[in-house]
Amino acid sequence: MKCHKPPNKAFNFIKKYYQELSIITFGVIAMNLVFFSDAFKGDTLNREFAAQFGDFVGGYVGTLFLLISVVLLFITFKTQRSSGQELSFETKYFELIKMHRDNVAELQLQNAIGRKVFVLIMREFRVILSTTSKANLELESKLNKKELMHVAYYCLFFGTGPNSSRMLRISLDSFDSQFIDLLVYKLNSPLFKEKTKKSLSLDFVPFEGHQSRLGHYYRHLYQSVSYVDKQTIPIDKYEFVKTLRAQLSTHEQALFLINSLSPVGENWWKKELITKYRLVKNLPPEFFNSATEIDITALFDKGYFEWEN
């Protein structure tokens, strides 16, 4: 995976004002070309030729600069229009950020509210991933780390139960049915649920799914980043997405990365949004166990993470 660096600001300035810079350069050259005339050559000034040439400059070059004035007026209107588009974009974008904050604030998992919900969900995910890995060894399914993350995340997302297990099996129909059945059996065990609840000090029953919480949250997050990425107006896209990224806690970024590694979040990679805007750059180096969970440094180019700089 490639890591995209923030755009060069000097290049952006030249790109944004290349028309104005071109006109200034041309004007300076045109004004100084007068001194190459024959009227100004030699030891003495030829007054007659200089006067004639002055009339020519006044008529021709003056008309030229009138044309340039018209062009500048057009650029002014164009800039005003662009500024209006930028203002409209910023207004909508900051509304999207406010909606993201509201989405997080409204998250609730029994007594946990807001960002703390992601902490609890990550704890639950790690138990599911451990159970998935054990089932993988028990049946010798030979799934790799990414496939195990995929299966574990879907178990977290859909959960187990009368309807949840059915949706889970359908979503994982590409995997061995015996392996999925064993996993559902383990996670749906009342005894295992109670044991996990006590060991993690949870005030809710685990493994019953978070589709209603996470589905809307990730759809809106994707919509917000895509909205910036699709803009054609001259803005610093990285800086705008950086504002949204700053809203994400460590556990939000961790769960977001897991989501992106599953089929439901594959567009984050296909459209290079996760790399271009370095959406999980703040993850600590040892947040995930590289031996038993996933090696995050293998997913991104060197220099992607904040701690590498």
- Higher pLDDT: 210 or 17? It is 210
pLDDT at 43 over 60: no
Range of the domain at 302: 102-109+210-308
pLDDT at 70 over 80: no
pLDDT at 53 over 80: no
Helices (H), 143-202: 145-158, 164-171, 177-187, 190-199
With respect to residue 205, please indicate whether it lies within any of the assigned structural domains. Answer: no
Please give the structure tokens belonging to residue 215: 């589905």
Same domain flag for 238 and 279:
yes
Distance (Å, rounded) from C-alpha 252 to C-alpha 119? Answer: 8
Same domain flag for 214 and 304:
yes
Query: Residues 283-296: what's their mean pLDDT?
Result: 94
User: Tell me, what's the pLDDT at 36?
Assistant: 61
Listed range (43-47, 140-144, 173-177, 210-214) with the worst mean pLDDT: 43-47
**Domain termination site, one of 153, 168, 199:** 199
Same domain flag for 302 and 236:
yes
CB 161 within 8 A of CB 188: yes
Compute the radius of gyration of the chain from its Cα atoms: 31
With respect to residue 146, please indicate whether it lies within any of the assigned structural domains. Answer: yes
Same domain flag for 232 and 280:
yes
With respect to residue 163, please indicate whether it lies within any of the assigned structural domains. Answer: yes
User: Tell me, what's the pLDDT at 76?
Assistant: 67
Listed range (69-78, 119-128, 202-211, 300-309) with the worst mean pLDDT: 69-78
Same domain flag for 119 and 172:
yes
pLDDT at 236 over 70: yes
Same domain flag for 295 and 219:
yes
Same domain flag for 130 and 220:
no
Same domain flag for 193 and 220:
no
Same domain flag for 228 and 171:
no
**Number of separate domains in the chain:** 3
User: Tell me, what's the pLDDT at 60?
Assistant: 62
Listed range (24-33, 53-62, 185-194) with the worst mean pLDDT: 53-62
**Domain termination site, one of 177, 199, 221:** 199
Taking only the tens place, the pLDDT of each residue in 90-145 is 999 999 999 999 999 999 998 999 999 999 999 999 999 999 999 999 999 999 99
Distance (Å, rounded) from C-alpha 34 to C-alpha 58? Answer: 11
User: Tell me, what's the pLDDT at 87?
Assistant: 85
With respect to residue 58, please indicate whether it lies within any of the assigned structural domains. Answer: yes
Distance (Å, rounded) from C-alpha 293 to C-alpha 145? Answer: 7
With respect to residue 3, please indicate whether it lies within any of the assigned structural domains. Answer: no
Distance (Å, rounded) from C-alpha 294 to C-alpha 202? Answer: 25
Q: Please give the sequence-ordered ranges of beta strands (E in DSSP) within the chain, or none if there are none.
A: 108-109, 112-113
User: Tell me, what's the pLDDT at 265?
Assistant: 95
User: Tell me, what's the pLDDT at 102?
Assistant: 95
Same domain flag for 289 and 244:
yes
Query: Residues 271-293: what's their mean pLDDT?
Result: 95
pLDDT class for 30, splitting at 50, 70, 90? Answer: low
In a 3-state reduction of DSSP, which class is residue 113? Answer: strand
pTM comes to 0.75
With respect to residue 40, please indicate whether it lies within any of the assigned structural domains. Answer: no
User: Tell me, what's the pLDDT at 18?
Assistant: 74
Percent of the chain whose predicted confidence (pLDDT) is above 90: 67
Query: Residues 1-17: what's their mean pLDDT?
Result: 65
**Domain termination site, one of 176, 199, 222:** 199
With respect to residue 240, please indicate whether it lies within any of the assigned structural domains. Answer: yes
Q: Is the dihedral of CA 7, 8, 9, 15 positive or negative?
A: negative
Same domain flag for 116 and 184:
yes
User: Tell me, what's the pLDDT at 257?
Assistant: 98
Q: How far is CA 308 from CA 250, 283, 293, 303, in A?
A: 16, 11, 21, 5
- Higher pLDDT: 46 or 169? It is 169
Query: Residues 158-165: what's their mean pLDDT?
Result: 91
With respect to residue 230, please indicate whether it lies within any of the assigned structural domains. Answer: yes
Same domain flag for 216 and 276:
yes
